[in-house]
């Protein structure tokens, strides 16, 4: 079997994110080659990639060979299985390598089917951009398994993409046509999908328990999270105070404020102050050197308010935007702050620290 290095290395880069660290079956610690299709699975996610001009033997490429292949010179790579099936030989130019082989018939997870599935289609580039935006807001704690996923909900001609950990809510929208739907995709699956750089159209088959994403090159199976997602829309209410600021200036100011924490043990909140034509950033505490900075706003601020936030969450929220300007909307010290941009429907809500 022969394949070009750049094509194979790109496939391995995507697939190795799915290869489990401690698999139930030893064969899952590799990638299955079978008639031009590469498969990796950790039983929660199964991914297949089709190579353009590859066919031939069926074998498992061991994880130990991934780094070598990625560092081979450009050119055609040839794979061969030894006569007794014990080894996989890899050759290109004057380079020869031999790795221990595994029985490909023991690779226990091929692409499952989704029974009684509904089907919808959407732009891969648009949906991947929205998933990338909200991913930071998923819960990291195992105590909130449902919030470790991303809500994908279609109502009418809009798909809502939402993530929340209970402290921050990230919400993006994508145009779409089709039937209404609501699924919760595990955060690990979303992270894998985003890393693949999908930019062509996606066919999405799903039922209550599982879903399959299919493009011209990729097929990704994932289980779905089951349960009722929190009502996030009610919190995005009209705010009284509005201010537009340069996103990079705000990011840099918050990063500098966070650097003043000398112990690293106490998460001291950051105060955001709305004043006339400026936004103030200040932070001080027992383990934090006093820090303050002011940033000019694009227009005069229509009100005054001091409101405190978790510094780490605030930085992550602002970092998730890609626009030059971010707009801050607030109401009181006990209400959340909403961040928006004038270039998209993407918005983030951050709860204050009381």
19-23, 66-70, 339-343: lowest mean pLDDT where?
Answer: 19-23
Average of pLDDT values for 97-109? Answer: 85
What does the chain come to in residues? 354
> Which pair of structure tokens corresponds to residue 104?
């490909």
More confident call, 315 vs 120: 315
- pLDDT above 90 for 225: yes
So what's the pLDDT on residue 245?
96
HSE toward the beta carbon, residue 206, CA cutoff 13 A: 22
pLDDT at residue number 53: 59
pLDDT in tens, 27-70: 899 999 888 889 999 888 999 998 875 666 788 998 999 999 99
Least Cα distance to 281 among 290, 289, 268, 292 occurs for 292
Rounded Cα distance, 81 and 87, in Å: 6
Does residue 12 register a pLDDT over 70? yes
DSSP string, 303-353: S-EEEEE-HHHHHHHHHT--SSEEEEEE--TTS-EEEE-SSSS-EEEEPPP
CB-based contacts of 151: which residues, under 8 Å, 6+ apart? 160, 161, 162, 163, 182, 183, 184, 229
Distance between CA 30 and CA 88 in Å, rounded? 12
* 314: pLDDT strictly greater than 70: yes
Beta strands in 148-266 (DSSP E): 149-155, 158-164, 168-175, 181-186, 202-206, 210-214, 218-223, 241-246
Task: Determine the average pLDDT of the residues in 179-187.
Answer: 91
Backbone phi, psi, residue 135, to 5°:
-55, -35
pLDDT at residue 262 above 80?
no
- Average pLDDT (327-345) is 95
User: Quick one: CA torsion of 176, 182, 188, 189, rounded to 10 degrees?
Assistant: -50
| pLDDT of amino acid 263 | 57
User: What global pTM score does this model have?
Assistant: 0.88
Domains of the chain: 2-106 (3.10.150.10), 118-223 (3.10.150.10), 236-350 (3.10.150.10)
Q: Residue 264: pLDDT band by 50, 70, 90 thresholds? A: low
């Amino acid at each position: 079997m022969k394949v070009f290095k750049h094509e194979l290395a790109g496939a391995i880069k995507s697939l190795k994110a799915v290869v489990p660290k401690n698999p139930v079956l030893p064969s899952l610690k590799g990638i299955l080659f079978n008639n031009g299709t590469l498969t990796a699975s950790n039983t929660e996610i199964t991914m297949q990639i089709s190579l353009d001009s590859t066919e031939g033997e069926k074998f498992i490429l061991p994880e130990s060979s991934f780094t070598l292949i990625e560092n081979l010179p450009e050119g055609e790579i040839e794979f061969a299985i030894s006569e007794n099936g014990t080894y996989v030989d890899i050759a290109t130019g004057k380079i020869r390598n031999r790795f221990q082989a595994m029985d490909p018939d023991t690779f226990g997870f091929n692409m499952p089917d989704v029974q009684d599935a509904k089907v919808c289609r959407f732009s891969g580039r648009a949906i991947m951009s929205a998933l990338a935006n909200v991913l930071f807001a998923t819960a990291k704690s195992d105590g909130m398994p449902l919030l470790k996923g991303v809500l994908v909900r279609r109502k009418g001609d809009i798909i809502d993409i939402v993530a929340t950990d209970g402290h921050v809510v990230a919400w993006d929208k994508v145009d779409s046509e089709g039937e209404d739907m609501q699924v919760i995709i595990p955060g690990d699956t979303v992270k894998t999908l985003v890393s693949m750089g999908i930019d062509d159209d996606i066919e999405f088959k799903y039922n209550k328990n599982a879903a399959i994403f299919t493009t011209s090159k990729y097929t990704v199976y994932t289980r779905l999270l089951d349960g009722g997602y929190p009502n996030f829309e009610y919190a995005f209410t009209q705010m009284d105070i509005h201010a537009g600021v340069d996103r990079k200036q705000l990011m840099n100011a918050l990063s500098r404020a966070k650097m003043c924490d000398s112990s690293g043990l106490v998460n001291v909140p950051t105060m955001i102050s709305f004043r006339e034509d400026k936004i103030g950033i200040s932070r001080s505490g027992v383990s934090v050197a006093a820090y303050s900075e002011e940033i000019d706003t694009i227009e005069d601020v229509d009100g005054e308010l001091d409101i405190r936030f978790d510094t780490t969450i605030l930085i992550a929220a602002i970092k998730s935007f890609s626009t030059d300007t971010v707009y801050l909307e607030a109401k009181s010290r006990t209400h959340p702050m909403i961040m928006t941009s004038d270039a998209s429907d993407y918005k983030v809500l951050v709860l204050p620290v009381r």
